[in-house]
Amino acid sequence: MFTIKFVVEPNKTIFAVMERIRHYLEQIAKVSDEDWKIFSSFLKNQTIPKKTIFHKLGEIENYISFLEYGVVRLFMPSKDKDSEKDMTFGFCFKFEFVSAYDSFLSRQPSTYQLETLTESKLWSISYQDLQEVYEKTKMGNLIGRITAERLFLIKSKREQSLLFDDAKTRYLNLFKERPKLFQEIPLKYIASYIGITPQALSRIRKNIF
């Protein structure tokens, strides 16, 4: 079982990451220095090994995290515990927020899991600490908004693609949007994400390349 262990980073490293997180937030709205000082004081980091499920089905999500580096998969595990039948519905990459946010928000058990596909470093704020940010700053809602929008777009984009595009189009669109994804993620997860079997994906790739 994976246990979250937060560690202390050198000041120079912390500053660089904090600037990156602030820049990400300020693509949506300006953050005051005072608000930023309060929010950033709560952020703690953890490095999670490759292929680690760090949020499990049925658990209540207690963190919103920012990926300094790494790749995280969002998936619903197969009921018969066959990993080949897991339903992958999203990926998160460096410089993005990741969370089982619907569980975080509702305080209800999650219906899916989060897994690192590569070694990943996360900067996290807990649910309890974020409530304090809400009370003391104007930026608390901004964090929630960005995370909620991120989760919605992950799910919505995949659902619309499954409804309106054929498998080849879904593959080509994904390849066009995130070419590096195919270097970092096993093809079986990509196949699951676009709603086909690994064998069908292999046939599509052979016809294209």
Q: What mean pLDDT is predicted for residues 15-33?
A: 86
Tens digit of each residue's pLDDT (9 = 90 or more) over 1-14:
444 454 445 566 77
Q: What mean pLDDT is predicted for residues 15-36?
A: 86
Q: Exposed (0-12), middle (13-18) or buried (19+): which is 106, by Cβ within 10 Å?
A: exposed
Distance (Å, whole) CA 98 – CA 91: 9
Which of these ranges, 15-19, 33-37, 147-151, 198-202, has the smallest mean pLDDT?
Answer: 147-151
Under 8 Å CB-to-CB from 155, ≥6 apart: which residues? 89, 90
What are the beta bridge partners of residue 74? 90, 114
**pTM of the complete model:** 0.82
- pLDDT score of 8: 47
3-state helix, strand, coil in the chain (%, to 5): 50, 20, 30
Q: Is the pLDDT of residue 77 over 90?
A: yes
Name the residue with higher pLDDT: 24 or 5.
24
- pLDDT score of 11: 60
